[in-house]
A and B are shown apart, each in its own frame.
Chain A
Amino acid sequence: MDIATFQAYGYFFFTAFLVAVLYGYIYHLYSAQKKGTRDYEKYGNIALHDDITDQPIEEISKTDEIKK
């Protein structure tokens, strides 16, 4: 197998893989939001409540205990 063939197969499969991952990601984002397992939109508030005295949206020490 010469390099061009290898290149073509590599390109095809990796792109297919990334497309699958991207669609999986889209599905994950919206289904998690709908089922209520994870609220992505709340992260938008990171920009709005960003004073150093504000409560973090997800505190770094606590999140380890949060399930899922």
Chain B
Amino acid sequence: MENRPLEYDYTVAKWFMLSTIVLGIVGMLVGVILAWEMAFPAVNTIAGEGLAEYTNFSRLRPLHTDAVIFGFTLSGIFSTWYYIGQRVLKVSMAESKFLMFLGKLHFALYLLVVVAVVGSLLLGITTSKEYAEFEWPIDIAVVVVWVTWGMGIFGLIGIRREKSLYISIWYYIATFLGIAMLYLFNNMEIPTYFASGGIGAWYHSVSMYSGTNDALVQWWYGHNAVAFGFTVPIVAMIYYFLPKESGQAVYSYKLSLLAFWGLMFVYLWAGGHHLLFSTVPDWMQTMGSVFSVVLILPSWGSAINMLLTMKGEWQQVAASPLIKFMVLASTFYMFSTLEGPIQAIKSVNALAHFTDWIVGHVHDGTLGWVGFMIMAALFHMAPRIFKREIYSKSLMGTQFWIQTLGVVLYFTSMWIAGITQGMMWRAHDEFGNLAYSFIDTVAVLQPYFTIRAVGGTLYLVGMFLFAYNMYKTMTSSRRVEESELQNASPMGA
């Protein structure tokens, strides 16, 4: 073979990095528009009456959730996999033409699916199931993308030099398997065009499950899509990037292994907490509630492990905005995984379900934990991929504080809004009649909707700062030597 020294090949990681940034901005921009629409309904027709169909709240809402989940987060997961995977297995993608091809194919197919999803959701082609809105042709394409990724994962593992799989790899494998199982079962559907002999729209399908069963499968999926999209792969990231950036090995590797198995077993049972007081059997509701509380243990096992990794090194948190992002992310993870189980307690859920408190919970998890961790990962990867230092440390710091303020405004306002509305819904007067009409409970939320919209806007502003910083890092930052890239990422002023 040739004598050129072998290097890690980050081509695919780089591509997915770009899609993370672009889709993140798109998804969050749509989210901010939605937030303003709730505070000021006139925003629904901001692009004029003619386009109202495509700019109103209900049409855009699935686009927001899917763009941030399957656009921003999933791109981030793929990007970090193509980076971490090579490094901890100590094998370069350049060593296998086939794996390189798979990686590029993976990205190309993924982009196609993204385009199809955006188009179909804007047109209102949806199955209505949350985070599984895609109709059957897209579902098939999603499966192909997923299998391509899986082949890439196991292919890379197959040619590895490092015998033991680092804990992050465990989490990536679990992400692959978990989503594959959930997605397949939740999207069992019959295309009506073929079943009826060629009548109606070709893309339309009908769910194989009905009513209560459909709800059960959907929330088994919906809850665990959060598990395997927002928790498992993000834990994979932090288990690699925090130790690497800080130069500290994981506080307890054994604890990380235990927390992994605990999380795998417990998470799947907790889906029932989305269906408390519904028509699914009582024992399942109770099971969902109990397991949600048990879930605190493995979640905190990982989170505490991360914080303890920084033991004796807290000066790094003050010194490096990158470490700040990760430490705050794991703090939000702890916070969010405590809040979730509280909401899953039946009596609390009776109040919280259907209110904005749930929306607040989702967002302190996604903005605080998922968003911060993915951005930190990209910040860490950029100097290694582009061989340039991070363009501006002070800009990073500014972004950190703006976004932190945004998240705090978001979840505090949604807490108040949710609990206020929940209390008003159930309030009775002295004669036992309902104290408030429904619209009373909506009107009272206007200030909180406005605060939330401001919070979301701040986060989006931070996202633009992030994109600008990354762009400068890619194009015009100072070039760095390999020796500067060992642990703490090099940053310009």
Say yes or no: A41 contacts B162, CB within 8 Å. no
Select which of A26, A29, A41, A51 is within 8 A of B249 by beta carbon.
A41
Say yes or no: B163 contacts A60, CB within 8 Å. yes
Query: How many whole Å from B85's CB to the nearest CB in chain A?
Result: 11
Say yes or no: B168 contacts A56, CB within 8 Å. no
Name the interface residues of A18-68: CB closer than 8 Å to any CB of B.
18, 22, 25-26, 29-30, 33, 40-41, 43-48, 50-54, 56-60, 63
**Residues in chain B near residue A41, CB distance under 8 A:** 249, 252-254
A46-B88 CB under 8 A given contacts A18-B265, A58-B164, A63-B163: yes
**Residues in chain B near residue A33, CB distance under 8 A:** 254
Please give the number of chain A residues whose Cβ is less than 8 angstroms from any Cβ of chain B in the complex. Answer: 26
Q: Which of B144-152, B240-248, B429-437 contacts A (4 or more CB under 8 A)?
A: B240-248
B54 at the interface (CB under 8 A from A): no
B203 at the interface (CB under 8 A from A): no
Say yes or no: B258 contacts A29, CB within 8 Å. yes
B166 at the interface (CB under 8 A from A): yes
Say yes or no: B249 contacts A48, CB within 8 Å. yes
**Residues in chain B near residue A30, CB distance under 8 A:** 254
Say yes or no: A22 contacts B262, CB within 8 Å. yes
**Residues in chain B near residue A58, CB distance under 8 A:** 162-164
Say yes or no: A47 contacts B244, CB within 8 Å. yes
Query: How many whole Å from B388's CB to the nearest CB in chain A?
Result: 18
Select which of A25, A29, A60 is within 8 A of B161 by beta carbon.
A60
CA distance A58 to B203 in the complex (A): 51
Name the interface residues of B157-209: CB closer than 8 Å to any CB of A.
160-164, 166-168
Say yes or no: A50 contacts B88, CB within 8 Å. yes
Name the interface residues of B247-288: CB closer than 8 Å to any CB of A.
247, 249-250, 252-254, 257-258, 261-262, 265
Say yes or no: A52 contacts B8, CB within 8 Å. yes
**Residues in chain A near residue B166, CB distance under 8 A:** 43, 46-47
**Residues in chain B near residue A53, CB distance under 8 A:** 5
A48-B243 CB under 8 A given contacts A54-B90, A56-B162: yes
Query: How many whole Å from A23's CB to the nearest CB in chain B?
Result: 10
B44 at the interface (CB under 8 A from A): no
Say yes or no: B162 contacts A47, CB within 8 Å. no
CA distance A12 to B91 in the complex (A): 43
**Residues in chain A near residue B164, CB distance under 8 A:** 43, 46, 57-58
Say yes or no: B249 contacts A50, CB within 8 Å. no
Query: How many whole Å from A44's CB to the nearest CB in chain B?
Result: 3
Query: How many whole Å from A26's CB to the nearest CB in chain B?
Result: 6
**Residues in chain B near residue A52, CB distance under 8 A:** 6-8, 90-92
Say yes or no: A47 contacts B168, CB within 8 Å. yes
CA distance A54 to B482 in the complex (A): 13
Query: How many whole Å from B84's CB to the nearest CB in chain A?
Result: 8
Say yes or no: A47 contacts B257, CB within 8 Å. no
**Residues in chain B near residue A25, CB distance under 8 A:** 257-258, 261
**Residues in chain A near residue B243, CB distance under 8 A:** 44, 47-48
A29-B163 CB under 8 A given contacts A47-B243, A56-B90: no
Say yes or no: B254 contacts A45, CB within 8 Å. no
**Given A22-B258, A58-B162, A60-B161, 4 further pairs, Cβ under 8 A:** A18-B265, A52-B6, A57-B164, A58-B164
29 A-B pairs whose Cβ atoms sit less than 8 Å apart in the complex: A18-B265, A22-B258, A22-B261, A22-B262, A25-B258, A29-B254, A29-B257, A30-B254, A41-B253, A44-B250, A46-B166, A47-B87, A47-B243, A47-B244, A48-B244, A48-B487, A50-B87, A50-B90, A52-B6, A52-B7, A52-B8, A54-B90, A56-B161, A56-B162, A57-B164, A59-B161, A60-B161, A60-B163, A63-B163
List residues of chain B with CB under 8 Å of any chain A CB: 5-8, 87-88, 90-92, 160-164, 166-168, 239-240, 243-244, 247, 249-250, 252-254, 257-258, 261-262, 265, 487
Closest 7 CB pairs of A and B: A44-B249, A50-B87, A58-B163, A46-B166, A44-B250, A56-B162, A63-B163
